[in-house]
Every structure is written in C-alpha cells, then in structure tokens.
Structure 1
Amino acid sequence: MKRVLALHGVGSSAEIVKGQLAPLTRELGPRYEFVYLNGVAEIERGPEIAPYYQGPFYSYTTGYTAAEIREALDNLDQFVKENGPFHGVFGFSQGASMAVSYLLDYQAREPETQLPFEFAVLFSSVSAFSPSKTCYESIVEGLLNRGFRAIQGFPKAEFNELTKAERIFAESLALTFTVGNQMSSSTESINFFTRRNQEAIPRVLHHSLTQDRIEIPTVHVNGKGDLPAISAQSRLVCGLCDQSLARVYHHSGGHGVPTELFDVKTLVKMIDLASLEGADRRALHQGPA
C-alpha cells in the first residue's frame, strides 16, 4: 500500500480536500492510503469553497515572506517525520505550492538524503516560494535600490526598464498577487517596494532564476477552465521539476480536482506510473540491501 500525504488549498481544510479528491481516491482504490493535514492558521473561507462546508478553514502559512515560509515548511517537515513514512504527496493549489517549496528546500538542506516522497501529484498549483532571505538577494536589492516608477503601482505595473532577471522576478511576484486579488485569497501587504522592506518581499521561485529541480516523478494537473494566471503559475511550478520526470494533464474542469470519469481514469494511470517510477528510482538509489 502506498501512503500519500494530501495538502489542501488556502481557506480550505483536510475534510474539504478529502471530498475534492474522493472521485480520484475511489478509483485508485485500496492500493493507496491517504493522510490529510490541516493547515496551522485558521482563516476565512477560501475561494470557491462550497457554502455547505461550515469550517473551520485553514492556511499552511500566515504569509509569504521568507520567514513565514520557513515556519510553514518546518511545520510540514515535523508532521512528515512524526507521521511518515510516506510514498507520495498530493497538493491542491496552495497545498501544491507548499509541496514544491518543501521538496526544493529539503533538497537544498539535505543534498545527500533521499526525499521523503517518491512522487508528487500537483493540482492547480500556485507559485512556490523559498524560505531563504538570501534567495535572489541581489535581484531584490537591485529592485529596491533602483527606485523605478513601476513599484508605485505594484502589482499593476510595467517592468520594461528592469534587467532581465529583475523583470522575471517582478513579473512572477506580480502574477502571484494578481491571482490572489482575483480569487480574494490574498491578505498579504504589497507595500514592501514602496517601504523598501527587503525582508517582507516574498521570494517567489522561477525556473529561469533557480537551478535546482525536483528530482522525483511529478504529475501536474490543471483545468482547461482555470484562471489563466493560475495556469501560468502552474507552468512555472512545473518548470521547477525535472522535465524528464514530469507529466502534465489538462482536464475538462476549472480550478479543482477532475471529476469526469474519463479524466479520473486517465489520471489514475498517470499516478500509477509516477508511483512505480518513483519506487524504482528509490530502490536504485538505495542499492542492494
């Protein structure tokens, strides 16, 4: 049996993501056991959460600064160590972001240690973040010292006068907050540029600026009817993964887990392949007993 940790979206809960995943978990059958984790911060109802759910609702983070991401990933790491081992991780929206952020951070902290998951399935992922204040430090310092006019209207701004690296980072950060505003899920202050507050600037990860890649099989799942800005973030997250191990599937729905039988059955095959490949890679790296 494969044990899988499931992480919910922002303003959601373990109970809700269990229901969201139900068509998929039923089709996967008893070969997989799911463990559902609530976030640590109680917040308001998240976007697109059905009104019949009474709450409480949670987030894995209290914010998206490096320090707040560090706390969130430490909480997740503690749960994994105390409740593992796990074979895989499923994440929806913010939960997918946390899974990717955690895996990249784990690889950086424990480069000689195998990852705590053999495979990952990421549904409608939003941007991933670094918990390191030194991540993109020169880029952030350049933005704060430049005094460019665009920061006055961030995140609605033009970044043409920036260097390539600065523009990539600023556009990625703006995309993140634009999605949050569209879905009414972002309570993060965005005056960090005008206040020249370096530590308050979230270190959103972009594959063009980051060399590290997640080194386990991944399945990236998005709805054709999802917000274009979320689909764009999901593509950025996919870029943070080893492309030779990444599989992408676009289902017929929106910002959610697929429910149509064809989508579910197709996804089950992809998950089984990722699970088998992940187990094979772990056995190969472990070597003979």
Structure 2
Amino acid sequence: MENPIQKKPRILCLHGYRTSAKILQKLVRRWPETVLQKLDLVFLDAPFPSRGKSDVEGIFDPPYYEWFHTNEKFTHNFEESVAYIEDYMVKHGPFDGLLGFSQGAVLSAVILGMQAEGVALGKVPKVKFLIVISGGRLRGLNLGVPKLASNAFSKKIRCLSLHFIGETDFMKPEGIALLEAFVDPVVIHHPKGHSVPMLDDKSLETMLRFIEKIQKTPCCNRVVAQGEDANCQRLNF
C-alpha cells in the first residue's frame, strides 16, 4: 500500500469585475512562496464576457469577464453565476475554501451566507474558510439585491475568514461592514487601495497563522495516496 500524503487546502479563486482568472493568478503569485507552497489554488473565469470597459485595460491583456452586473434596481446574471460556480465545484471539487478579489470577494462572501441558508451550494460540502480581498457586503452596495441573497447575512456565518482591507480602498467601508457577518474574522490591514497587496512581515505572519489554522480543520486534513488523480483542472498560464 502506498504511503498517504497530506493534501494542501484546495481553494477556488474568483477574480474581480471585468478582469479574469489569469489576471488574479498573476497578482496572487506575488505572494511569498512560503504562502503559495501551502495552498492548492484553482482560478476560475466568470461565465460572462465583460459588457463594458475594464479598469485594467492597458495594464493587463483581455479577455475580461464579469460575474454579474448591477444597477439601482436589478442585479443581472447573479443567480446564473452562483449556479455556474456550484457546477464547477461539483465537477472539479472538492474545494475546502474560497478566495475572492473585489466582485469575486463580494460574491464569495454572499455565497457562503446563501449556503448557510440552504439556497446555494447544496450539492457540495460546506465551505470551511474564506479569504476576502477588497470585498464587501452585497446588500451594502445600495444596489438591487437578488432575492436568493436577501437573507444571506441574516445570521453570522460560522466559517473561518481572512479579510484584506486597504486603507485607501474605496471598498474599505463595505469591507469593514462585512466583518460583522462572520464569527471571529481575521483581518489584515494594508496601506494600499483596491488591489491584491504584497505581504509585509506582519501580514505574512498573520496569513501563515491563518493557513495553519485551516490546515488543522477536518476538511484540510484529507489524505490521498501518492499518484492518485486529484480530479482537478487548473488554469495553466
């Protein structure tokens, strides 16, 4: 019998508005190897092509995608994106946690609340942890909130969570409001704006402690025989 090896926590990563999985992967790759080598990161493109100009044009190459589009009365494509994520998790999981940046972070957080309410991700195991980068509460955006998400934050979400909040980020107020939705959230404050920040010594220590905590949870202690197919499709860039 082959010796078992411990699997890294598998994380599904959701990019920001009108960007892409490739762009988020490039940004996250700036983190130290001491962090990256401890995580199994899978980056997913949103199902809908960008319907307008992207803020990263001229910085990162297209194509660009969006999870949903909002105005004062309606949120378009939200339920379709939730179903798309769940379908991907069913086909390519299991996943231990979610990581989201910007719109991907807003979506990740509300999905966990919806899973707790029993209206989303019912076909997959409970998500055990969340990493939020420049995110916020969907209903705090003063936009049309989808009916399925209306009670997502009615109760505190019992899920390990790590929140990156930038001092000059326009999403800072919503990021702070989101903390109230989780039980015992871990916070990394940084001086930058709406971005995936580099990790200084203090934030690196905080993140490594968080990773150590999630590695001790039952979901992250699964073992797999050497050579076993992990049934995972990663994006290779």
Aligning the two structures, in what range does the TM-score lie when normalised by the shorter sequence? 0.7 to 0.9
Q: Secondary structure at the match of 2:87?
A: helix
Offset, 1:232: 1.0
Match of 1:250 among 180, 189, 192: 189
Q: Separation in 1 of the partners of 2:36 and 2:125?
A: 25
Match of 2:23 among 16, 22, 27: 16
Flag the 1:272–1:95 CA change in 2: closer, same or farther, 3 A: same
Note the alpha carbon deviations across 1:7-64, whole angstroms, 9 max, x for none.
Answer: 10101100000011112263313221110000111114533x2624221101112447
Q: Separation in 1 of the partners of 2:36 and 2:75?
A: 38
Aligned to 2:177: 236
Cα pair 1:45 1:55 within 8 Å, conserved = no
Q: Separation in 2 of the partners of 1:54 and 1:282?
A: 35
What is the TM-score when the length of structure 2 is the normalising length? 0.75
Aligned to 2:225: none
Note the alpha carbon deviations across 1:51-81, whole angstroms, 9 max, x for none.
Answer: 2422110111244746732222111111111
Alignment pair present for 1:34 and 2:41: yes
Q: Separation in 2 of the partners of 1:108 and 1:66?
A: 20
Amino acid at match of 1:222: I
Amino acid at match of 1:10: Y
Cα pair 1:27 1:264 within 8 Å, conserved = no
Cα pair 1:218 1:274 within 8 Å, conserved = no
Offset, 1:173: 4.3
Number of residues paired by the alignment? 208
Note the alpha carbon deviations across 1:176-201, whole angstroms, 9 max, x for none.
Answer: 6xxxxxxxxxxxxxxxxxxxxxxxx3
Flag the 1:92–1:126 CA change in 2: closer, same or farther, 3 A: same
Mapping of residues 269-284 of structure 1, within 5 Å: 269-276=208-215, 279-280=217-218
Aligned to 1:222: 165
Identity %: 18
What is the TM-score when the length of structure 1 is the normalising length? 0.63
Alignment pair present for 1:82 and 2:23: no
Aligned to 1:268: 207
Aligned to 1:92: 101
Amino acid at match of 2:110: S
Offset, 1:273: 3.9
Aligned to 1:6: 13
Gapped runs of 5+ residues in structure 1?
A: 130-171, 177-200, 284-289
Match of 1:213 among 156, 177, 181: 156
Q: Secondary structure at the match of 2:138?
A: coil
Flag the 1:232–1:115 CA change in 2: closer, same or farther, 3 A: farther
Q: Secondary structure at the match of 1:55?
A: coil
Aligned to 1:187: none
Q: Separation in 1 of the partners of 2:206 and 2:12?
A: 17
